[in-house]
Structure 1
Amino acid sequence: MRWQLSKEEEQYFEEAVLFAALASAPPPCPRIRTRFNFNALPDAKLAVPVLWEDTEIFFGRSSSGLSIIFMHLLDLLDATFSSLILFNRNIAAARLKEYSQAVFDAGSPYTNVWCFVDGTVRGVCRPVPRRVHHKKRKLLGQQSIYNGHKRKHALKFQTLVTPDGLISHLFGPYAGRNHDIKMYRESKKAGTIRLDSRFRGFRVFGDCAYGNDDVIVSPFEGAIGNLTAEQTHINACMSRIRVSLEWSYAQIVSYWKALDVKSSLRIGTQPVGKMYRVVVLMTNCITCIRGGNTASDYFNCPPPDISEYLES
């Protein structure tokens, strides 16, 4: 089976090659022997919102078979590279001085901030309510994932974004109603960083809700009139730099359009959380292959080579 790219498909060439390099295990169909390779299937499914029926002719398999292969490759990538998704500690520790210098050169008053922490909200389709009490006719299901701040049903993830444009840590999913602090505490990332002597003296920057300790630093709290001129200046500088978080989130959905259509993301029938974890991994790989992204250009901090990233 020859892989032929049309003009519309050329933009997905790197992602397709990357899947072929990462997902080397055969699909779980012991009764079907084939010489064809479907490692690019998740790329085609996640890059654009498409129905399985629309991919049958292209891949030459039934929609049910393609779905099985897709799920297998998701499981494979998520399990194989779980350490890279959860926290790529070795690369981060090796580049702490480079990261902190890049943040300082971008205008930060701090010389020891090496990354930024925040939660991201990904919209999903409204779940069908489930009746749990016939007499009171009480409905449960959709309330738990409704995010009142964004006013939509969603899943939440916690991230650490470094100046080289990589999402070095992804934790979740959590129901949309949960607060960022709950994810931060249950991820136990502060303890992991605190126990690693390589991170001693360096800080993560987060919003006011995260507080201040030996791991994390946040803006000064209070009304502008109650802050000193120096404190106001520090808050303004860090707020401007911290916008790089949003660039990283936007990059994910720009590559993987299927995850930007919440009406097609159905909790209970799709592994939405696992899909997002895998596309974060793939986005990091694309950043390494292309030598950077918007965030890394802003900080003038190139990412590591793809082989260094995958082998760390």
Structure 2
Amino acid sequence: MTLALMIVLCRIVFPTCLVDLSLLFGKEKSTLSVIFNEMIEKIYIKFYSVLKFDYCQFRESNLLRFSQAIRERSPAMHCVGFIDGTFNKIARLIVDQEGAYNSHYQGHGLKYQTVVIPDGITSSIMRLDSSRNHDMCMYCKSQLDVMMCIAFDFTSINGPCYYLYGDPAYTTSDHMMIPFRRQTADEQELAINKSMSAVQISIEHKFAE
């Protein structure tokens, strides 16, 4: 099991080919491929619930710490992370080409919804079946709002209601904040937009990784 995990980590930590791993581990390419695929499946099954939404990461003490970290760089209060969707292009599929095609990006690919907290850790990552979904559509189908309601809402004990910050593709709610409309925003709201834009760049860095 340890060797299998080493093979997985070695393959994903930087771009490498099976032939390189074959020389390193002394195993056939076909054997390494089977080991890698089976280990990825086992890891996914074991950690699926945490990948979907890490409740442990969003415990009350951490929520306070995250909101304070963002508060240091923006006037926004009780924001604990950032949400966005991303599209990763892939080769054209042999089957179900239509489901993987996105006209906006002019190509085939996989679309993900990710939540990143201020320290750069991904605390939720989900992919739906269709790559044609709008970000808000992905948000609704993922039922992330239900999970945030459980983890973020402390109003019943006179506490705050924490929220995520997203781009204008999302809709404002108790657990979601988006930029103020420039046409109707006052100076303070425009200042919040500017400061949050600078902080939100962390999620773009995560997508780049």
Change over 3 Å in CA distance of 1:191–1:230 after alignment to 2:
same
Match of 1:97 in 2: 64
Residues 100 and 131, structure 2, Cα contact 8 Å, conserved in 1: yes
Higher relative contact order (CA 8 A, sep 6+): 1
Task: Give the superposition deviation at 1:51.
Answer: 3.4
Q: Which has the larger radius of gyration?
A: 1
Match of 1:112 in 2: 78
- 1:210-257 deviation per Cα after TM superposition (whole angstroms, max 9, x unaligned): 211111111123xx344322322222222222111111222x3xxxxx
Q: Is the 8 A contact 1:145 1:153 kept in 2?
A: yes
Structure 1 stretches lacking a partner, 5+ long = 1-22, 25-36, 131-140, 253-312
Structure 1 SS opposite 2:83: strand
User: What is the root-mean-square deviation of aligned Cα atoms in Å?
Assistant: 2.1
Give the Cα–Cα distance (whole angstroms) in 2 for the partners of residues 192 and 65 of structure 1.
Answer: 40
Query: 2:152·2:175 contact (CA, 8 Å) conserved in 1?
Result: no
1:232 maps to 2:199: no
C-alpha separation between the residues in 1 aligned to 2:45 and 2:100? 25
The aligned residue for residue 144 of structure 2 is 189
Question: Which has the larger displacement, 212-221 or 41-50?
Answer: 41-50
How far the C-alpha of 1:149 sits from its partner, in A, is 2.9
Distance 1:190 1:47 in 2: 32
Give 2:132's aligned residue.
177
Q: How many residues align?
A: 203
| Structure 2 gap ranges (5+) | 156-160
Shift in Å, 1:146: 2.3
Q: Which residue of 1 aligns with 2:158?
A: none
Find the aligned partners of 1:75 and 1:51 in 2 and give their Cα distance.
Answer: 20
1:73 aligns with one of 34, 39, 63: 39
Task: Please state how far the C-alpha of 1:95 moved relative to its aligned partner.
Answer: 0.3
Tell me the TM-score normalized by structure 1. 0.60
Q: What's the CA shift for 1:99?
A: 0.3
CA distance in 2, matches of 1:89, 1:100: 16
Once the two structures are superposed, the pairs formed by residues 135-284 of structure 1 within 5 Å of their partners are 141-196=96-151, 200=155, 201-221=161-181, 224-250=182-208, 252=209
C-alpha separation between the residues in 2 aligned to 1:198 and 1:168? Answer: 17
Q: Distance in 2 between matches of 1:75 and 1:225?
A: 49
Q: 1:81 to 1:73 in 2, by over 3 A?
A: same
